[in-house]
Structure 1
Amino acid sequence: MRYKTSAKKKNGEIGLLLPKECEVANNDPVDLDSPLKNMTEIELLAPAKNLESGMAAINYGADAVYIGASRFGARAAASNSVADIELLVQFAHKYRAKVFVTLNTILYNNELEEAEKLIHQIYNAGADALIIQDMGILKMNIPPIPLHASTQTNNYATDRICFHDQLGFDRIVLARELSLREIKKIRAATSTELEYFVHGALCVSLSGQCYFSEVTTGRSANRGMCTQACRHPYNLVDGNGKRIILNSHLLSLKDLNLSSNLSELICAGVTSLKIEGRLKDINYIKNVVSYYRRKLDDILNSEREYVKASSGNTEISFDPDPERSFNRHSTHYFLSGRSKDLINTYSPKSIGKKIGTVEKVGSDYITMKATETVNNGDGLCFIHKNELIGFRIDKVVGNKVFISNTSNLLQGMVLYRNHDHEFIKMLEADKSVRKVAATISVTEKDNSLHFELSDEDHLSSGYTMTELPEQAKNPESADRNLVSQLSKSGNSMFNITDVKNNCQASYFFRMSELNEIRRILFEKHEAARIAAFARKDTGQQLKTIDFPQKEVDFSANISNEKAAQFYREHGVEKQEKALEVSSAKEKQLLMTTRYCLKYELGYCERFQEAQNTPPEPLFLEDQNRKYLLQFDCKQCLMRIRLEDKS
């Protein structure tokens, strides 16, 4: 396979190598400033730790959720029964929302039969798609469930992305490291749906290419058991053995927040905007999903060529703010090219929102210059000597904030709130229900009364009273009562915006009778909406095309015989087994990352023209081992290798 010459690098951005089969048909240059203008559904995709979180995500505005099954998900701690997935599917489909199930780990030979059986169960539960990593699944006898190529399938390499596009995946989950310019190029070169992360924790390694946890602890990230070695503290050691940075979180990235870039991503061709966080609690889901729903709705209301991917709206009683939930402070990562200040060297924990500075330090209290009110039970933190230190507010009296320990606090220190007691109470108390707009009409015909509920999606359900009630003695009061009672929606999923009384006569109803009619209408229509949802089976037929390389090493993550068969059938002549099913070697590659420690620290000779840099090679060091840092300046990648024990 031949490749185009890479584009010129700008601001440290990697030029994309496009396989020839993926070039634009007329070979015209890609217009990076011209948005794609189509009537396109835009999806807000949220994580679900469990059934409760999934229902909350949909209730607070998600168009789709992704959730782990009982096994084989990339978050082993977030597994769910097929029965719970089925309940979530039914809830989601009421709103024309979707449920995607993650089966995105690599599989062993003795797990293939169980995985195949589980996929059929997931399909029968009504799930809308399966997110996968292991190519062995493509050689199974599976139902026609749409398949999404997980970011773990290395959707950073353009030739791999184009292979997945041509192969027949229904969606490709793009790597977090890709820039906006690169996404536009990929969109021009592919036809399948594109999904991209917009919020949440960042893996410093290219997804699917991190072996740090597997090699050092035997717990594989590709098996859903990552120990998050990237969040640990390390020393930085130069080529002379000098420790130039001590006990610092040199690989711990800030969290992604692209809430100000949603319109650009949509115009670039991304149709699914993904929030990370399958281990986050329900309050995080309520807050962050609501925040992005508002942002996205503002765009959809102004850009008429794009439409919402599901039905209904939620009115909430709080003002969503992601800084008030778990966050390590935010970054745009590589969206606009390479930049510095991507890590928090002092802690991988939640830092929260800046709320002011210390004004005065007393023996058991402080006073603050605060931008927001602080409350009893709040958790505050500050950075002291490159360490994050936290404390709890015992009580607030006037302008004094009483705490148990004021040591290390100094006048002028910046304070952050990483536990907002009142905001959390507000989130827990909020029981908002997503509502689908609907109207009810009452019509008299053939000596019967027909009640019809019609919703915003033009679906209707009816209820007929075969015997007419007695005519009202007070018509005006009866008509008013009819409209008033049928307009009530309570905690149902409907928002009755209008009740049309088309009857010539006025009829007397007891309040309980109208309540029962309304209940029946709501119950019937809720069931009708579930039944009317047409799950789309995949129309894709997997194609026999050549894989971009004739040889693949352990990073292809081939851990079972079906995956090996897949690569052979797609032209791979030589293949290595996955690291998980082979013996680890000394000097093993642990991680490949676009994040570059030299650039972060100002040591980059290429883009920063740095001089007097530390002698190389550079190493990371923890209590157990040393790890060699290798810098591929041509590709702008950093690799971390395990050093021999000494």
Structure 2
Amino acid sequence: MDRKCELLVPAGGPEQLIAAVENGADAVYIGGRLFNARMNAGNFDDETLRSAVDFAHQRGVSVHVTMNTLLRDDEIGEALKYAAFLYETGVDALIVADLGLGKRISEVIPDFPLHLSTQGTIYSLAGVEAAGRLGFERVVLARELSLQEIQTICENTAMEIEVFIHGALCICYSGQCQLSRYFGGRSGNRGQCAQPCRLGYRSLTDTGAEAPAPLYPLSPGDLCLIDHLGALVSAGVTSLKVEGRMKSADYVGVVTSVYRKYLDRVCAGKSGRVEPEDREALAQIFNRGGFTDAYIRGDSGTELMSGDLPKHGGIYIGNVLRRVPGTDLLETKENLPVSLGDGVEIRGTELCGNVVTYCRKTKGKLHIGDIRGSVQPGDPIYRISSASQLAAVRKTYRHTGLDGGQEQRKTRVDIRIIGRGTCITAIGTHESGKRAEVRSGAFEPAAEPVDLERMEAALRKSGNTPFFIGRIRFDGDFGMRMKASQMNELRRRLLKEVADSLIVRRPKPEVMDFSFVQETQPRVMEYYFYTWERFLQSRNVLPSHDLPVVCVVPLAEYFRRFGEVGDGVNIVPYVSNVTRGREETVLRENFTEICEICRETGVYVGNPGWIQPFRSAGVPVYGDYGLNVYNSQSQAALDMLGVRFSVQSLESDDRSNGAIPLMTLQHEPEGRYLVSERYGVLEKVERPWSDQTLLVARDADKPSEDRLPARDAGCEVFRYYWK
């Protein structure tokens, strides 16, 4: 295998960016001061971002900036101006989730590369192609895909494909989660996720009995695909992405260095077999109940989950023998792998731990401390942090800042020296192809030519620059007198010019003030049903609020049973936000018949991949909640794909809208109900036509004769989700 594949690493702040660059990242992704999905990270103000981009570019590293939240109409103008600043600054690509923002950027700054975030919920080749038609050149695939699905997409598209390979996993399809917003008012789609999925839940059966399930049934372990790099590269993936813009520089440095090592190996056709010490390094810096390869091999079982610990698990290193009487010291086996400065945690009846400040062998045993709390003989000991690991990784990035320092990562510069008369021209060619040139003043003529070996030695002293000197070539005559200080000055000037040539500055695009006109639609009362049976049970008791009533039903069931509808009932069938599995099979195997049935009613489509097939078949297409239409420009983007109208994003819905979809999962938790002391009860919706698990709030409001469901300003479709 001889193929280049990008290693894309997160940087939540300047220190993390330096750690990523110095440990081998090909590209970094960062958040600025506006509209990114990790607004609680350190992020970059405008001045620091400009310095960060220059620092990375001078070291051969690309910079992608996240603008991956949903936007209101009144925010799009500011977002466009910020995108113009990023373009001028030299940012290499924008990662965008909002289709409307992507549309406007592609119109205003057409040569600014756009990557569709994993928040776009793209899981199929058709979805990738739809993203391409909207102006995106790269798609970050949903994390739920198998290697075979990834390979099929890569083999059949010219689009760039990006895949997550390491870090935290969301249990819900990205972009389809409302849990944090619904219960706490902090929307993940708006960059403020409070992670209620990491809390404990009791799992109950239909009868209310306890179901055998982990305490944290919505908390997956951390993704680790270090063993699958060769397969992903062979599949044709463009970019391998590490998650973690909230993580420390230490984490970024360790993870980057390990993945750099094995990615280089597999790209060079060598074995990607992971050495035990590298696997341990990844686990030591952070793991959540161990690691999982998630869905890369297909469906994932219980090993996907973090178990009974939703935080850093550390590494198990041994057990407590006893507490030394009258002290805060614990006695363990003599060979326990622990040192001063390590962080340890004892997991017995309670969690307790500390940084090891005492570590001494005594009579064939090891005493460590200070550890307070209830500890019993036999309690397991976990090393949460390793002082030696942290010291080693900090040596890779704490020697420099964004303005330079003792550089470790260096890129190659070849130099050509041309002597003519008593003047010298120095040409530096960077490994990227960028070229710089400087000329000397006139030197004194000399009978003896300059000692070229001495000049070469002076030219190779690249010092605290981000460069090392490759080939040096001398052409012409050098019959001149040249001091060592003059040689050094020539080198310094040349390398500065090379560094400046790597800084990208573009003309700032002109961004006009953005205004919008909210188009109103006819007022309609919609009832959305998760199953056909629930529709049949409820169709005669639907409050109309003196509005036309439309029943929105699953197409996978409707096409077989549309004859049961009866007179006077308006139906629009829907394709769900994720169709992988049974629903996809039903749609594909019966597509001709389905289209014949739906040409009168039209069809709601919840993901981009099914828009074009229905439109090409002459079926009216409407956008459903899964498309996350949160502004007028998103609807305008979908208009380009042939979508006539879209229902509003769930971001505007509340309990009055009924049992709105809170999470769409590929994984199925045990039990029927998940009970949280803080948030109440989540309920799994049984959908016999789907392979995905849908969670809703059990206590959602009942449909009211007196009050219409919530809807966004300007949207005249009042929708109620009927459980």
TM band (smaller chain): 0.7 to 0.9
Q: Secondary structure at the match of 2:643?
A: coil
Q: Secondary structure at the match of 1:291?
A: helix
Could you list the per-position Cα deviations for residues 333-363 of structure 1 after superposition, in whole angstroms to 9, with x for gaps in the alignment? Answer: 0100123322223222111233344455533
Q: What residue in structure 2 maps to residue 492 of structure 1?
A: 465
Does the CA contact (< 8 Å) of 2:430 and 2:498 recur in 1? no
Shift of 1:244: 3.9
Structure 2 unmatched runs, 5+ = 272-277, 400-406, 509-610, 616-620, 702-723
Q: Secondary structure at the match of 2:64?
A: strand
Does the CA contact (< 8 Å) of 2:412 and 2:469 recur in 1? yes
Q: What residue in structure 2 maps to residue 266 of structure 1?
A: 233
Q: What residue in structure 2 maps to residue 528 of structure 1?
A: 501
Does the CA contact (< 8 Å) of 1:165 and 1:190 recur in 2? no
Q: What residue in structure 1 maps to residue 313 of structure 2?
A: 351
Q: Which amino acid aligns with 1:420?
A: S
Q: Which amino acid aligns with 1:281?
A: S
Note the 1:513-524 alignment, pairs <5 A: 513-524=486-497
Note the 1:376-387 alignment, pairs <5 A: 376-384=340-348
Q: What residue in structure 2 maps to residue 395 of structure 1?
A: 358
Q: Which amino acid aligns with 1:233?
A: G
Could you list the per-position Cα deviations for residues 34-69 of structure 1 after superposition, in whole angstroms to 9, with x for gaps in the alignment? Answer: xxx8x7542111112123422432232111111112
Does the CA contact (< 8 Å) of 2:32 and 2:66 recur in 1? yes
Q: What residue in structure 2 maps to residue 626 of structure 1?
A: 681
Note the 1:173-252 alignment, pairs <5 A: 173-244=140-211, 248-252=215-219
Q: What residue in structure 2 maps to residue 113 of structure 1?
A: 77
Q: CA RMSD in A?
A: 3.5
Shift of 1:129: 1.4
Asked if 1:559 is matched to 2:630, the reply is yes
Could you list the per-position Cα deviations for residues 181-225 of structure 1 after superposition, in whole angstroms to 9, with x for gaps in the alignment? Answer: 111122233321100000111111000000000100111110000
Q: Secondary structure at the match of 2:5?
A: strand
Q: What residue in structure 2 maps to residue 16 of structure 1?
A: none
Shift of 1:628: 0.6
Does the CA contact (< 8 Å) of 2:333 and 2:366 recur in 1? no
Q: What residue in structure 2 maps to residue 415 of structure 1?
A: 381
Alpha-carbon distance between aligned partners in 2 of 1:350 and 1:128, rounded to the nearest angstrom: 33
Q: What residue in structure 2 maps to residue 326 of structure 1?
A: 286
Q: Which amino acid aligns with 2:501?
A: A
Going from structure 1 to structure 2, the CA distance change for 1:196 and 1:247 (only over 3 Å counts) comes to closer
* Bigger Rg over Cα: 2
Asked if 1:160 is matched to 2:122, the reply is no
Equivalent of residue 28 in structure 2, options 57, 65, 80: 65
Shift of 1:638: 1.7
Asked if 1:467 is matched to 2:447, the reply is no
Q: Secondary structure at the match of 2:76?
A: helix
Does the CA contact (< 8 Å) of 1:381 and 1:418 recur in 2? yes
Alpha-carbon distance between aligned partners in 2 of 1:458 and 1:147, rounded to the nearest angstrom: 24
Q: Secondary structure at the match of 2:304?
A: coil
Equivalent of residue 692 in structure 2, options 629, 637, 643: 637
Alpha-carbon distance between aligned partners in 2 of 1:131 and 1:256, rounded to the nearest angstrom: 21
TM-score (norm 1): 0.79
Does the CA contact (< 8 Å) of 1:355 and 1:370 recur in 2? no
Q: Which amino acid aligns with 1:422?
A: S
Q: What residue in structure 2 maps to residue 97 of structure 1?
A: 61
Q: Which amino acid aligns with 1:353?
A: I
Q: Which amino acid aligns with 1:559?
A: Y
Shift of 1:633: 6.5
Going from structure 1 to structure 2, the CA distance change for 1:349 and 1:521 (only over 3 Å counts) comes to same
Does the CA contact (< 8 Å) of 1:352 and 1:417 recur in 2? yes
Note the 1:35-46 alignment, pairs <5 A: 41-46=4-9
Does the CA contact (< 8 Å) of 1:376 and 1:395 recur in 2? yes
Q: Secondary structure at the match of 2:268?
A: helix
Does the CA contact (< 8 Å) of 1:547 and 1:567 recur in 2? no
Does the CA contact (< 8 Å) of 1:452 and 1:460 recur in 2? yes
Does the CA contact (< 8 Å) of 1:232 and 1:249 recur in 2? yes
Note the 1:41-60 alignment, pairs <5 A: 41-60=4-23
Could you list the per-position Cα deviations for residues 494-549 of structure 1 after superposition, in whole angstroms to 9, with x for gaps in the alignment? Answer: 112455567877977554433323221211111123369999xxxxxxxxx84868
Shift of 1:413: 4.8
Going from structure 1 to structure 2, the CA distance change for 1:532 and 1:84 (only over 3 Å counts) comes to closer
Q: Secondary structure at the match of 1:639?
A: strand
Does the CA contact (< 8 Å) of 2:334 and 2:366 recur in 1? no
TM-score (norm 2): 0.71
Alpha-carbon distance between aligned partners in 1 of 2:423 and 2:335, rounded to the nearest angstrom: 64
Alpha-carbon distance between aligned partners in 2 of 1:101 and 1:532, rounded to the nearest angstrom: 16
Between the aligned residues of both structures, percent identity stands at 31
Alpha-carbon distance between aligned partners in 2 of 1:503 and 1:158, rounded to the nearest angstrom: 58
